[in-house]
């Protein structure tokens, strides 16, 4: 029996995102929480980008990638949270099929790009620690731009190929998506037609865009840790590890939650737990990344301190001029 046989074949024009349930009393609280998260995420990542652009000491490959990661996190949050906030504020959980597929499309591009970017960052740390004498030659401006452009272009091409098939799909039966955003798996389950081709293509693209970068990150850190353990002094080991500890924490959080959501099987009665993990890697991770990098990075802290001092000095000078007149 085909996928669409025995089901209500009435085509639907919109989906209903069930979100976090029908508890109306919690809607204002959830709206406030996600609004604060969104504002902090955007403000924190804009601050990181601004510091990297304005401070000459941060014009290095490591901070070039960090600035791009912060920009990516802003896009990531802006793809999901405004729609969720509007739903919580108005109570309207309907989303058009085209709007849902577009959200899936941009979410896929950003997820794949982040995986590739984290792999590029781990490669940068591998070269800095394991090949310090050749680092400047192997990780120059041209290579950095090529790695960054390659991450975006390959993610765009892979997700565009998938969404060409997805846009041609017809949807029937249930309108409801038991999630707070349009993820690929719950959307494709509502398709009336044969989805084997698009599911196979998605598996291939996901493996290339997520599994391969994860293996590259793992390989890089095995080599990095091996090299650090060979350093004879404790101070030397601590200094070497401090240059990659922030990135390692981000990688563990990102891939840990990603694997939990998409690889570990989830029973129907554990859908709430599934949503919570999804919230963690789609909403909370973009917010805590700037915190991790700023708290554990002396150069970022120093750049932030100098910026604050300049702003205070400018404000005091401006105040003094106003008093004179």
Spatial separation of the C-alpha atoms in residues 147 and 136, rounded to whole Å: 15
pLDDT, greater one: 281 or 79: 79
In a domain, 192, yes or no: yes
Spatial separation of the C-alpha atoms in residues 235 and 222, rounded to whole Å: 20
Q: What pLDDT score does 242 carry?
A: 77
SS3 call for 259: helix
Secondary structure letter of residue 4 according to DSSP: T
User: Is a pLDDT exceeding 90 seen at residue 284?
Assistant: no
Q: Which residue segment(s) compose the domain that 214 sits in?
A: 14-318
In a domain, 4, yes or no: no
pLDDT, greater one: 89 or 304: 89
Q: What percent of the chain has pLDDT over 70?
A: 88
Q: What pLDDT score does 274 carry?
A: 73
For 98-125, the pLDDT digits (tens) are 899 999 999 999 988 999 999 999 999 9
Beta carbons within 8 Å of 31's beta carbon, 6+ residues apart: 85, 88, 89
Q: Crossing angle of helices 285-295/27-54, nearest 10°?
A: 40
In a domain, 5, yes or no: no
Q: What pLDDT score does 304 carry?
A: 76
Query: How many domains are contained in the chain?
Result: 1
In a domain, 9, yes or no: no
In a domain, 323, yes or no: no
Q: What pLDDT score does 65 carry?
A: 92
In a domain, 3, yes or no: no
Which CATH number covers residue 177? 1.20.1070.10
* Residues present in the chain in total: 325
Classify the C-alpha dihedral 252-258-264-267 as positive or negative: positive
pLDDT, greater one: 13 or 41: 41
In a domain, 188, yes or no: yes
157 Rama sector, left if φ>0, alpha if ψ -120 to 50, beta otherwise: alpha
In a domain, 8, yes or no: no
């Amino acid at each position: 029996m085909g996928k669409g046989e025995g089901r209500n074949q009435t085509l639907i024009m919109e989906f209903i995102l069930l979100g976090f349930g029908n508890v109306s009393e919690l809607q204002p609280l959830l709206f406030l929480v996600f609004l604060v998260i969104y504002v902090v995420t955007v403000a924190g990542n804009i601050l990181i980008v601004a510091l990297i652009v304005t401070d000459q000491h941060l014009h290095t490959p490591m901070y070039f990638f960090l600035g791009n990661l912060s920009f990516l996190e802003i896009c990531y949050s802006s793809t999901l949270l405004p729609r969720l906030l509007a739903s919580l504020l108005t109570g309207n959980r309907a989303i058009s099929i085209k709007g849902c597929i577009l959200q899936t499309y941009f979410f896929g591009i950003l997820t794949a790009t982040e995986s590739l970017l984290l792999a590029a960052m781990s490669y940068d740390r591998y070269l800095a620690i394991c090949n310090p004498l050749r680092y400047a030659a192997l990780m120059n401006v041209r290579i950095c731009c090529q790695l960054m452009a390659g991450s975006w272009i390959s993610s765009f091409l892979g997700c565009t190929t998938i969404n060409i098939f997805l846009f041609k799909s017809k949807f029937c039966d249930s309108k409801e998506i038991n999630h707070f955003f349009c993820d690929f798996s719950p959307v494709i389950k509502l398709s009336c037609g044969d989805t084997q081709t698009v599911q196979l293509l998605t598996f291939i693209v996901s493996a290339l865009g997520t599994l391969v970068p994860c293996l590259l990150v793992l390989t890089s850190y095995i080599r990095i840790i091996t090299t650090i353990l060979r350093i004879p002094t404790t101070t030397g080991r601590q200094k070497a590890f401090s240059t990659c500890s922030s990135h390692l924490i981000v990688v563990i959080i990102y891939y840990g939650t990603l694997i939990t959501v998409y690889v570990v099987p989830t029973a129907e009665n554990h859908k709430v737990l599934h949503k919570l993990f999804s919230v963690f890697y789609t909403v909370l991770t973009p917010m805590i990344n700037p915190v991790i990098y700023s708290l554990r990075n002396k150069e970022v802290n120093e750049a932030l301190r100098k910026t604050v001092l300049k702003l205070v000095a400018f404000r005091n000078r401006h105040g003094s001029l106003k008093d004179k007149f």
